[in-house]
Chains A and B, each alone.
Chain A
Amino acid sequence: MKLRWTINGAPGELDLDPRVTVLDALRDHLGLNGTKKGCDHGQCGACTVLIDGRRVNACLTLAVMHDGAEITTIEGLGTPEAPAPLQREFVRCDGFQCGYCTPGQIMSATGMLAELRDGSPSHVTDSLTAEPEMTDAEIAERMSGNLCRCSAYPFIREAIEAAVGEERE
């Protein structure tokens, strides 16, 4: 089936079997290997990308369902010369060990911070009717869809907090 995507700002066309997930389309058909395949069942978050600005598991959705969509992957967030604040802070804070989950962590954090800016509550938000604050507990809860088997969680949370601070400056 033919479909059109805008990937990291560039429009393009694809012709795919309906079984191809967004994840497999990115990795196997477009050569964008930054997005990682971990569990392939939505449990680990390594495949997280933004579709039309929202974070989703690329493994749990079909490419053909997203004709016309705008997709942002880790390759579209920044470059080695000009990294996005989250990318820079993950390096500075050592927010990883093996690095396999890192693109998913960073894409998830990008979507998560947008949700926080929109005032969306979480499971640990005390008041549903007040603006949520960005605490360590809030970050941990909101990032629970991203596993890190090296367990770099404290530094991942630190990197996310630092990136927010950087954006505010």
Chain B
Amino acid sequence: MRPFDYTRPDSLDAATDALDAPGARIIAGGTNLLDLMKLQVMAPETLVDINRLPGLDRIEAEAGGLRIGALVRNADLAADPRVRHAYPVLSRALLAGASGQIRNKATTGGNLLQRTRCPYFYDPAMACNKREPGAGCAAEGGVTRMLAILGTSPACRAAHPSDMAVALRALDAEVEVHAPDGTLRRIGLDDLYRLPGDTPEVETTLAPGEIITAVHLPAPDAGAVQAYRKIRDRASYAFALVSVAAVVAVEDGRITRAALAFGGLAPRPWRDGRAEALLIGKAPSEALFAEVAEAVLDGAVTDAGNDFKLAMTRRALAAVLAETTGLAPASTGTDKVEVPA
């Protein structure tokens, strides 16, 4: 690890000031940042430890929904009774990610801002446009099993690794951002994450000095069934090859609401409104689910190392839609939303 200065502010204002230092970075759980610092993929000059900022470690009811502080640990969020009952897809996604030890440390804000696990980003001996703009991309002709197939660019094919963010995207969560001038703004996940284009090193729309302070969940969808399905190379503690988060409601035999978000496929949690719209007003059927999968995968760019993700996505989506619409019995990972009366 390169030497760095360490500071532990006790207020948001002090944290904002500390972030003014050149090469300053926030550390929260640190489970990804310290890993990258040991590899010298990242080398911050100052670490701003926000773990003791007051009020950011709480989950609070608000306007029918929940406000999740940025420092709420992944384990605590997954186990929160309100989340387990009313937003089960979020619990399921969190529990599908990382290990018990990591979830005890990793935070809500840090999970959103974790870096890709592209093996070429992680290896300073390899060319990576994200790590070193203009260096090239060693993933071209390389091992692409874990890489993205949607939303990529010639400069970068890295996938976003989070499970939590996929569920949050399906739940229409909003991220609360604290600006250096003290104002707060709220943005959806598609407005937080940038697609790589020609500048894969710029991953989010956050301005210098901005701090994620919370995630807001809208009021739960009382009539819906939610599911998170993750497919990976081993049964536990592995990143997704493909994952699907779904929030689906059926009334009188017709699908009335459908939110579908995908992990492992793209540089950010992937959602496709046109594909979702195909479901609305229709009776659930395998043919319909296949049609939706084709719409999601339209425009996918694959190679021989990851074209298996096409069939894997079709099957995962078909299984999740069958269970959430009642066409197939629910298995572990598919839950009814339970809202207290």
Q: Mark A54-84, 1 if CB is under 8 A from B, else 0.
A: 1111001110110000000000000000000
Q: Does B79 contact A (CB under 8 A)?
A: yes
Question: Which segment of B29-37, B55-63, B248-256 sits at the interface?
Answer: B29-37
Interfacial residues of chain A within 64-122, with CB under 8 A of chain B in the complex: 64-65, 108, 111-112, 115, 118-122
Q: Across the interface, do B95 and A121 meet the contact criterion of CB distance under 8 Å?
A: yes
Tell whether, in the assembled complex, residue B35 and residue A60 are in contact, meaning their CB atoms are under 8 Å apart.
Answer: yes
Contact B30 A121 (CB under 8 A): no
Give the segment of A6-14, A26-34, A141-149, A161-169 that binds chain B: A141-149
> Whole-angstrom distance between the alpha carbons of A86 and B87 in the complex?
35
A56–chain B nearest beta-carbon distance, Å: 5
Pick from B102, B105, B237, B335: contact of A128, CB under 8 Å: B335
- Is A18's CB under 8 angstroms from B6's CB? yes
- Tell me how far the C-beta of A149 lies from the nearest C-beta in chain B, rounded to whole angstroms: 15
Q: Name the A residues within 8 Å of B92 (CB-CB).
A: 123, 128
Residue ID in chain B nearest A107 by CB atoms? B101
**In the complex, what's the smallest C-beta–C-beta distance from A72 to chain B, in angstroms?**
14
Residues of B within 8 A of A124 (CB): 332
B332 with A126: CB separation less than 8 A? yes
Q: What is the bound-complex CA distance between A60 and B31, given in angstroms?
A: 5
Q: Give the number of residues in B that approach A within 8 Å (Cβ atoms).
A: 38
Chain B residues whose C-beta falls within 8 Å of the C-beta of A65 in the assembled complex: 8, 27, 30, 49, 51
- Given A40-B38, A61-B34, does the pair A55, B101 have CB atoms closer than 8 Å? yes
- Are the C-beta atoms of B91 and A128 separated by less than 8 Å? yes
Closest to A127 in B: B335
Check if B78 is an interface residue, CB within 8 A of chain A.
yes
- Docked pose: A142 CA to B99 CA in angstroms: 8
Q: Which residues of chain A (19-56) have a CB below 8 Å from chain B?
A: 19, 21, 40-42, 45, 48, 54-56
Note all chain A residues with C-beta closer than 8 A to B30: 60-62, 65
B2 to A: closest C-beta gap in Å? 8
Measured between beta carbons, the chain A residues less than 8 angstroms from B235 are 140-141, 144
B residues near A129, Cβ cutoff 8 Å: 84-85, 338
- The interface residues of chain B lying within 8 Å CB-to-CB of A140 are 235-236
Binary per-residue interface labels of chain B (98-124) against chain A in the complex, 1 for a CB within 8 Å, 0 otherwise: 111110110000000000000000000
By a CB distance below 8 angstroms, the chain B residues around A60 are 30-31, 34-35, 102, 105
B1: which A residues are within 8 A, CB to CB?
19
The answer to whether B299 has its CB under 8 Å from any CB of chain A is no
Chain A residues with CB under 8 A of B8: 64-65
- B4 interface hit (Cβ, 8 Å): yes
Asked whether A42 and B4 contact (CB < 8 A) given A65-B27, A123-B95, the answer is no
Check B236–A108 contact: CB distance below 8 A: no
B78 touches A145 (CB 8 A): no
Taking a contact as CB atoms under 8 Å apart, the answer to whether A19 and B4 are in contact is yes
A residues less than 8 Å from B338 (CB atoms): 129
Q: Is the CB of A120 within 8 A of B75?
A: yes
Contacts of B3 in A (CB 8 A): 17, 19
Q: Which residue of B lies closest to A142 (CB)?
A: B100
Give the interface centre of A56, A112, A121, A123 by most chain B CB atoms within 10 Å: A123
User: Once the chains bind, are B101 and A45 in contact (CB under 8 Å)?
Assistant: yes
CB of B233 closer than 8 Å to a CB of A? no
For A120, what are the chain B residues with a Cβ–Cβ distance below 8 Å?
Answer: 75, 78-79
Q: What string of 1s and 0s marks CB contacts (under 8 Å) between B16-55 and chain A?
A: 0000000000010011001100100000000101010000
Let me know if A145 and B332 touch, CB within 8 A.
Answer: no
Is A57 in contact with B75, judged by CB distance below 8 angstroms? no
List residues of chain A with CB within 8 A of the CB of B75.
54, 115, 120
The CA of A54 and the CA of B5, in the complex, are separated in Å by 27
Min CB–CB distance B163 → chain A (angstroms)? 10
- Complex Cα distance, B6 from A112, in Å, reads 31
Besides A1-B6, A56-B105, A143-B100, 5 more A-B contacts (Cβ < 8 Å) are: A42-B101, A120-B78, A140-B235, A144-B235, A145-B237
Complex A-B: 16 CB contacts under 8 Å: A18-B5, A19-B1, A41-B35, A42-B31, A45-B101, A55-B101, A60-B35, A64-B8, A65-B49, A108-B101, A115-B79, A122-B95, A123-B236, A128-B91, A129-B84, A145-B98
Can you list the 9 inter-chain pairs with the closest CB atoms, starting with the nearest? A145-B99, A144-B236, A18-B6, A128-B84, A120-B79, A144-B237, A123-B95, A54-B104, A19-B1
On B, residues with C-beta under 8 Å from A are 1, 3-6, 8, 27, 30-31, 34-35, 38, 47, 49, 51, 75, 78-79, 84-85, 88, 91-92, 95-96, 98-102, 104-105, 235-237, 332, 335, 338
